[in-house]
Structure 1
């Protein structure tokens, strides 16, 4: 894969840490072999869909329900290419025409969480769940919003519900762990270890869980990132996830500067629709706010 670049030595030191010193929790060998892939380009199909839906919305003969559906679909396409403000406008337009679109409420809740407008986000997720009590991703996204909004105990309830829909999914397990850790860190690790037994060894993301359990070092985790990857697209999508969770891991260790740069690497993939891409920006904002608070106290 020609577009894969590996940074070593001084070059990667600059990428990860800038002028700050490395924490002893991160071995210098972890700097070797960091993989950077090309950011995903905007999918031509999404551009075509947006153009066609925009043309269709100009037709006067559309019913109110049809127009609502088209606004919702165009909102999805805008969301897929990272045009979140335009997507939010279309979701709101869809709901003004048809107020029972659970998925539109769910996406609005996600975007409000990204903006850290948590109270408004909770309301949107509540509406989605009221309309569709089995809307598993509304529980997931409300759980994330609750966690970032410092309501960890409530977040655990929602993320447990989401996890139970598919207990062998490592990502569901990890987000539940993040919320549980805010309540009881020791118990969260024990729960993580127990639940990890249900994850198949053929799932690459099990390595993320092993990283958090101390069964893999950061160096080993990074060295395995390109294993069994057959395309740049697949690699980029994996890196979006991997660097986000490396950021969370280093934030957990207190390595804020390194965490910050991993979140930036996740954002650099342009995998707009991934939950990891969406919340890497929130994580960065929170790290910056925490740094500002420390400076003010000094």
Structure 2
């Protein structure tokens, strides 16, 4: 019992301090990383121009709303999410019928674990645009994190059926099915894998989740086929996130912690994998702290 207590405490400390537990998987001691993405000159110039535009007094509300929205996207793309949220809210106050803004606000609410607000935002996006390309997926992900797995599966299955050749639709559906039908989840993923055209690079990640391709083969593939540092950063962000989910499902928490941190390291702020890596870390820490507290209480009773 005492050893188990120390195990959970060590992993929780690794998350808080950024270190490694003694159980850390050796493959991640010197991981493959890309140069973290930084704001480009073009983005900075665009922000300066937008600030100048917003200082004009001759803009109508719809135009001003669009400018706030565009500045919000720029802030979001460089990781300034609080500023982005302010811009999106100002845009909505001037022109409320904007499904794209409700969608991204729903993602923000999901990141901060305000799930009821997230559901409402995605519902609003879909009411305004029933065919919105991302709102149904993002609502499914929010339902997944909110523990409403059956509803999440309905959304993500419908989203998958719209494009069975998109690997990430299959992967998120697989994540939900691990919670609802764990004995069938891997076979379902394999069936979807076999039916797909598999032209998208992301099917390599699905192969790893099915224990087909190895993690080392996946990383070697990234090195060989990434044409730019940006592309490498994006592919590593995706790969590390789903690999972390895989380790977490196996209860190999120290490895999951390191991989979630690696997911964040590339600064690929616009990818859902980067957006939810912090949420995963926070939830994992809370879970481990809860385990430690429960074990401590048991020790006291003994």
The alignment's TM-score, normalised by the length of structure 2, stands at 0.87
5+ residue gaps, structure 2: 1-17, 296-302
Q: Secondary structure at the match of 1:224?
A: helix
Say whether residues 1:57 and 2:59 are aligned partners: no
Q: 1:53 to 1:198 in 2, by over 3 A?
A: farther
Residue 13 of structure 1 corresponds to none
Q: Secondary structure at the match of 2:223?
A: coil
Q: Could you tell me which runs of 5 or more consecutive residues in structure 1 were left unpaired when the two chains were aligned.
A: 1-15
SS at match of 1:150: coil
CA RMSD after TM alignment: 1.8
Shift of 1:148: 0.4
1:95 aligns with 2:92: yes
Aligned partner of residue 32 in structure 2, secondary structure: strand
Q: Which residue does 2:137 correspond to in 1?
A: 140
Q: How far has the Cα of 1:31 moved from its partner?
A: 5.0
Q: Does 1:18 align with 2:20?
A: yes
Aligned equivalent of 2:7: none
- Give the counterpart of 1:257 among 250, 254, 257: 254
- State the match for 1:208 in structure 2: 205
1:173 aligns with 2:170: yes
Q: Secondary structure at the match of 2:96?
A: coil
1:115 to 112, 116, 133: 112
Deviations 1:54-107 (A, max 9, x none): 211111111111111111111111111111001111111111111101101111
| Structure ranking higher on relative contact order (CA contacts 8 Å, 6+ apart) | 2
Answer whether contact 1:140 1:162 (CA < 8 A) is retained.
yes
Superposed CA deviations along residues 128-168 of structure 1, whole A, max 9, x for unmatched, are: 00000111300011111110011111111111122122110
Q: Is the 8 A contact 1:199 1:206 kept in 2?
A: no
- 2:106 aligned counterpart, secondary structure: helix
Residues in 1 aligned to 2:29 and 2:94: alpha-carbon distance in whole angstroms: 54
Greater share of residues in helix: 2
Q: Would you say the 8 A contact 1:71–1:93 is kept in 2?
A: yes
Q: How does 1:212-223 map to 2 (within 5 A)?
A: 212-223=209-220
Structure 1 runs of 4+ aligned residues shifted over 4 Å read: 30-33
Measure, in 1, the Cα distance between the counterparts of 2:198 and 2:246: 21
Maintained 8 Å contact 1:50/1:74: yes
CA distance in 2, matches of 1:275, 1:159: 15
1:295 matches 2:292: yes
Separation in 2, partners of 1:261, 1:252:
15
Structure 2 distance, partners of 1:50, 1:117, is 29
Q: Secondary structure at the match of 1:203?
A: coil
